[in-house]
Structure 1
Amino acid sequence: MRYAIEIDAPDLAALEAAVLDAERAGYAFVTFPDSPRRAGVEAGVRAAFLARRTTRIGLAPTLHATTTEPFHLATQLASLDHASLGRAGWVVGATTAPADLATVGRTGVGEGEVADVVEVARRLWDSWEDGAVIRDVPTGRFLDPRKVHHVNFEGSSFSVVGPLITPRPPQGQVVVIGADTLGVTGLDVALVAATDRGELATRAAAARAAGAALVFADVPASFDPVVAHGVVDGVHFRGGPLLTARGEHRPTLRETLGLPRPTNRYEVTA
């Protein structure tokens, strides 16, 4: 059983102390809540702040697919993966609250838009193949253009040509984490907000059928993780005191979670 925890803090010093405690306790990753109307430092910047202040724990900010421009979202997460040497995750936020959407001048969200944002982010992370950056000083060539690709994505609400302005993340793909109710297939980690063992089992099976590689119970701090043993792959606590997680950290978050490094779709089809 793997453990993760949501950590919020009143300031960056307190946040750093809490995340370091979670790292020492053996948590696989920490998540950072956020909303478009939150005051203070946004979750992506908080995660970047911790990238070189931690060494082993995964860092997964909440970035909202409905209020963040998809290209910039993918770039920010790729940069976090580079800064943390392969420990970035992404909790897919999908707020549709009118006041949240109004912060970016929106009044609604298109059908399937969240799934489109996840898909184009994955394509953009693949838009640079491994080995695209060659740094060939004698010839003055920084990259091999044959290994950098346009994604030419057409979604229901937006289009993206690409490629990304950031080379492929160290993990190949940032770990995508999201609620099982998002309507997104193929999540790396599906979060199931249920505390009843029977409901957990039913929804976990549905999430796996929708392509989720791992399923975590998404529960309050008071939840007894024994309830989830044999039903899900891990537990994500929404705050509360730290447990001794007894986890083993690997160099990247994917390796810590036992997830393979994805093959680049463009390298396969080139």
Structure 2
Amino acid sequence: MTGLLFAAEVDAPDLATLELRVRAAEEAGYAFVTLPDDPLRGGVEAGVLAAFLARRTARIGLAPTLHTSTTEPFHLATQLASLDHASLGRAGWVVGATTDPAALATVGRSGVDPAEVADVVEVARGLWDSWEDDAVIKDVATGRFLDPARVHHVHFESPRFSVVGPLITPRPPQGQVVVIGPAALGITDRLDVVLADPAQGRPAGAPLVFASVRDVRAVPPGFDGVHLLGAGDDLPPVQRRAAGPTLRETLGLPRPENRFALARRTA
């Protein structure tokens, strides 16, 4: 298991227990935690839980499950960018796509087009780039807060939604929030980290693939990391790898270049 990265799915019945478990995962050497979410569970939404943990942890990545089928894409991108700012660059996003009829009914929907998931991921990435890194200038002498030439519309259209942009939040510290998702979504080429059933083998298309298991010892060769499911109070310690200041750096993922800045330089 030497050289593997480790993550854990962490949930708890209350905020105090959740904080203890996530901080224990941080101390045990885990790179990030995933926070499951059920829109109808009656508790606090996973993105809010991650925001609660942002300043109560220091090194570990925080990846809430947010559903593309029950959250407007613009608000989803904004929430995740805000989490990245609050955690100083430790935000991840577990892409969810619930098809539960009761959950869909809360937003007036009765079904989900599988292609929609890829569209939401794509527009979120575009919105995170809608502010270039140097858009905020804070020039007190001239009273200018930002350079409008470095804030962009994304003009994204899909069969279900359209987004003009730009985002209302400056670019995340990581450039792009780390996008994580199960292999079953069928969008591995759009993810930074795939969570896969090791019995199905390693899917192609993503930089990193984690085996989702309930025993850290049950991981075959060929995976980059372990995603421990159902982690409770007895979280096994793992071999710690040096944590960077951001989740991307901890995972060895490059900080993406802003697409608008790149287009201007290459025009």
Q: TM-score, normalised by structure 1?
A: 0.92
Indicate the SS of the match to 2:209: strand
CA–CA separation in structure 2 for the residues paired with 1:193 and 1:65: 22
Q: Is it true that 1:77 corresponds to 2:80 in the alignment?
A: yes
Q: 2:222 aligns with which of 219, 231, 234?
A: 231
2:216 and 2:226 in contact (8 A); partners too: no
Which of 118, 123, 126 does residue 121 from structure 2 map onto?
Answer: 118
Alignment correspondent of 1:244: 237
User: How far 1:175 sits from its partner (Å)?
Assistant: 0.2
- Structure 1 residue 180: Cα displacement: 1.1
1:253 aligns with 2:244: no
Can you list the C-alpha shifts for 1:176-206, whole angstroms capped at 9, x where unaligned? 0001121222310001023x3xx32xxx1xx
Runs of 4 or more above 6 Å deviation: none
Q: CA offsets, 1:87-115, max 9 Å, x none?
A: 00000001112111011111111341000
Q: How many residues are matched?
A: 257
Residue 70 of structure 2 is matched in structure 1 by 67
Partner deviation per Cα, 1:47-88 (whole Å, 9 max, x = no partner): 000000000000000000000000000000000000000000
Please give the alpha-carbon distance, in whole angstroms, between the structure 1 residues aligned to 2:84 and 2:94.
14
- Mapped to 2, the partners of 1:53 and 1:17 lie a distance apart of 10
1:242 deviation in Å?
A: 1.4
Letter in 2 for 1:187: L
Equivalent in the alignment of 1:96: 99
Match of 2:211 in 1: 217
Q: Tell me which residue corresponds to 2:168.
A: 165
Which runs of 5 or more residues in structure 1 are unaligned? none
Q: In structure 2, the residue corresponding to 1:181 is in which secondary structure?
A: helix
Whether the aligned pair in 2 keeps the contact of 1:190 and 1:215 (CA below 8 Å) is yes
Q: Which residue of 1 aligns with 2:190?
A: 186
User: What is the RMSD computed on CA atoms of the aligned residues?
Assistant: 1.1
Aligned residue number for residue 136 of structure 1: 139
Q: What is the deviation of 1:218?
A: 1.2
Q: Secondary structure at the match of 1:239?
A: strand
Normalising by structure 2, report the TM-score.
Answer: 0.93
* Equivalent pair of 2:121/2:190 in contact (CA under 8 Å): no
Deviation at residue 223 of structure 1 after TM alignment: 4.9
> Percent same amino acid at aligned positions?
69
Distance in 2 separating the partners of 1:84 and 1:26: 18
Letter in 2 for 1:68: T
Letter aligned with residue 239 of structure 1: G
- Which residue in the other structure is 2:259 paired with? 265
Unaligned runs of 5+ residues in structure 2 are: none
Give the secondary structure class of the aligned counterpart of 1:231: coil
